């Protein structure tokens, strides 16, 4: 049977991880996969996570199954973190999922069940796995303009023009904050216009929030999602705890489905539970329980928020330092966008050939579309990157 298999194209982010590992230069710099690293290049276990895990190990009395949707306390805590009191709890169905990717996959499977003909619209560019999963499920896919190559900001006019052509009932995937891969995000005023446009065409928003707390702060990063959640009868939201809790390998995420009313929410919940059952029965529990422990304990939550703020401010500092270095070394302000971008990534906006020069000549690894992980830098490597960018004629 297996001889009939076709080779699969490698995921460009994950294959970069392998290439970086295989490079034996000790000056190499990893700006590839979206994993936070501190100044010494470690991806630490957050203090509050360590403490929550210690408590779980000491106090947990069973490893018996949870419900198909996962622990309801996790859903409540995550809905509170992301949506606060924007939407009545009775209108929200939710399932725990294996990471943000699991939530995206389940959301797209929901579209298959509920609206099999609907086209899924994603930003151009978007996280590569979005298109990959949509195609894998055989769903119609289209792109809306998003990135302005010249300014490296949002091509807002192009975005609105394309979203105006979306058909009724189509699903529009939006990055709630910290756009991956570009780092460019709409302003809150622009979000209002995006919402008005999507309301007019009667689209269904699908928000992917993988970096809450990495941009302008936990509440600020939730503002666009909250506006969307409040504005439509049906919304899907996929949220990841991988980055903001630093629990990547625990696979902790959630899919929320906002329904018109409590009856529709029950039907939605039953379908979400069914999808979990079909795909993996019960979602992973450990990471979800760690998150719930942190979010429901005021002292642990305060400590988590403080460490997340340090992380966020560290990345902002690196952005500013890199923009400053480039302004000096290139004698030009065309890289100032790096300080304006938010989240873990910035798209430098250069060719694959120049990205390859950075890798071959300088051991600097970024994704071929010139997405760089800002958290892969530190105060010492910023000037090295800035000089390499100038030397490569970017
Ligand atoms: C990324 O975009 O680098 C991360 O979300 C990791 C991944 O799974 O691609």
Q: Give CA 45 to chain center in angstroms.
A: 19
154: DSSP letter:
B
Give the Å distance between the CA of 129 and the centre of ligand 1. Answer: 8
- Ligand 1 contacts CB of residue 13 (under 6 A): yes
pLDDT tens-digit map of 295-337: 999 999 999 999 999 999 999 999 999 999 999 999 999 999 9
pLDDT tens-digit map of 127-175: 999 999 999 999 999 999 999 999 999 999 999 999 999 999 999 999 9
Report, as an integer, the average pLDDT of 212-241.
98
Report, as an integer, the average pLDDT of 217-243.
98
Are 127 and 181 contacting, i.e. CB atoms less than 8 angstroms apart?
A: yes
Are 214 and 343 contacting, i.e. CB atoms less than 8 angstroms apart?
A: yes
Q: Does residue 367 carry a pLDDT above 90?
A: yes
Are 175 and 123 contacting, i.e. CB atoms less than 8 angstroms apart?
A: yes
* Domains with residue ranges and CATH for the chain: 10-45+305-391 (3.90.1150.10), 65-296 (3.40.640.10)
pTM, full prediction: 0.97
33 CA closest ligand 1 atom index: 3
User: How many Cα atoms within 13 Å fall on the side-chain side of residue 31?
Assistant: 31
Residue 364, SS3 per DSSP: strand
Cα 31 to Cα 183: distance, rounded to the nearest angstrom: 14
Give the Å distance between the CA of 210 and the centre of ligand 1. Answer: 10
Residue 74, SS3 per DSSP: helix
pLDDT tens-digit map of 166-217: 999 999 999 999 999 999 999 999 999 999 999 999 999 999 999 999 999 9
Mean pLDDT (the chain) is 97
**Residue-level pLDDT at 96:** 98
Residue 127 is a catalytic residue: yes
- Ligand 1 contacts CB of residue 367 (under 6 A): no
pLDDT tens-digit map of 241-280: 999 999 999 999 999 999 999 999 999 999 999 999 999 9
Report, as an integer, the average pLDDT of 379-389.
97
Dihedral angle at the C-alpha atoms of 207, 309, 17, 146, nearest 10 degrees?
40
Residue 79, SS3 per DSSP: helix
Are 256 and 91 contacting, i.e. CB atoms less than 8 angstroms apart?
A: no
Are 221 and 212 contacting, i.e. CB atoms less than 8 angstroms apart?
A: yes
Residue 121 is a catalytic residue: no
Tokens 């302004």 -> residue: 327
- Ligand 1 contacts CB of residue 35 (under 6 A): no
Give exposure, 284-303, as e/b (b: 16+ Cβ within 10 Å). bbebbbbbbbbbebeebbeb
Q: Per-residue confidence at 39, pLDDT binned at 50, 70, 90?
A: confident
Cα 337 to Cα 260: distance, rounded to the nearest angstrom: 40
Tokens 């979800």 -> residue: 288
- Ligand 1 contacts CB of residue 240 (under 6 A): no
Structure tokens at 247: 């629990």
pLDDT tens-digit map of 205-225: 999 999 999 999 999 999 999
Q: Please give the share of the chain, as a percent, with pLDDT higher than 70.
A: 100
367 CA closest ligand 1 atom index: 3
Beta bridge partners of 239: 209, 254
Q: Which of 230, 379, 282 lies closest to 63 in space, CA to CA?
A: 282
pLDDT tens-digit map of 328-362: 999 999 999 999 999 999 999 999 999 999 999 99
Cα 224 to Cα 228: distance, rounded to the nearest angstrom: 6
User: Mutual orientation of helices 188-201 and 223-231 as an angle, nearest 10°?
Assistant: 30
């Amino acid at each position: 049977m297996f001889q009939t298999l076709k080779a699969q194209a490698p995921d460009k982010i994950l294959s970069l991880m392998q290439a970086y590992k295989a490079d034996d230069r000790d000056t190499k710099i990893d700006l590839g996969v979206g994993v936070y690293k501190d100044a010494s290049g470690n991806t630490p276990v957050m203090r509050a996570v360590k403490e929550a895990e210690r408590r779980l190990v000491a106090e947990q009395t069973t490893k018996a199954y949870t419900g198909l949707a996962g622990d309801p306390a996790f859903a409540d805590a995550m809905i509170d973190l992301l949506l606060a009191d924007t939407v009545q709890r009775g209108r929200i169905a939710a399932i725990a999922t294996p990471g943000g990717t699991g939530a995206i996959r389940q959301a797209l499977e929901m579209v298959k069940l509920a609206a099999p003909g609907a086209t899924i619209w994603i930003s151009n560019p978007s996280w590569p796995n979005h298109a990959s999963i949509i195609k894998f499920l055989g769903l119609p896919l289209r792109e809306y303009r998003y990135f302005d190559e010249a300014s490296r900001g949002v091509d807002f006019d192009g975005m609105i023009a394309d979203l105006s052509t979306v058909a009724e009932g189509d699903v529009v995937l939006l990055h709630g904050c910290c756009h991956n891969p570009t780092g460019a995000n709409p302003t809150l005023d622009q979000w209002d216009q995006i919402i008005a446009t999507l309301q007019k065409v009667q689209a269904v928003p699908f928000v992917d929030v993988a970096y809450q707390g990495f941009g302008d702060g936990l509440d600020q990063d939730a503002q666009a999602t909250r506006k969307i959640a409040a504005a439509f009868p049906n919304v899907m939201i996929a949220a990841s705890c991988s980055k903001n809790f630093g629990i990547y390998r625990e696979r902790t995420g959630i899919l929320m489905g906002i329904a018109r009313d409590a009856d529709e929410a029950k039907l939605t919940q039953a379908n979400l539970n069914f999808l979990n059952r079909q795909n993996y029965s019960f979602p992973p529990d450990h990471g979800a329980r760690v998150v719930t422990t942190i979010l429901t304990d005021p002292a642990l939550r305060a400590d988590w928020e403080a460490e997340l703020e340090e992380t966020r401010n560290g990345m902002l500092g690196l952005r500013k330092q890199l923009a400053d270095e480039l302004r000096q070394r290139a004698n030009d302000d065309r890289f100032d966008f790096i300080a304006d971008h938010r989240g873990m990534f910035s798209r430098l906006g250069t060719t694959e050939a120049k990205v390859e020069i950075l890798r071959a000549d300088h051991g600097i690894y970024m994704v071929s579309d010139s997405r760089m992980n800002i958290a892969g830098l530190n105060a010492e490597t910023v000037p090295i990157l800035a000089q390499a960018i100038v030397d490569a004629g970017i």
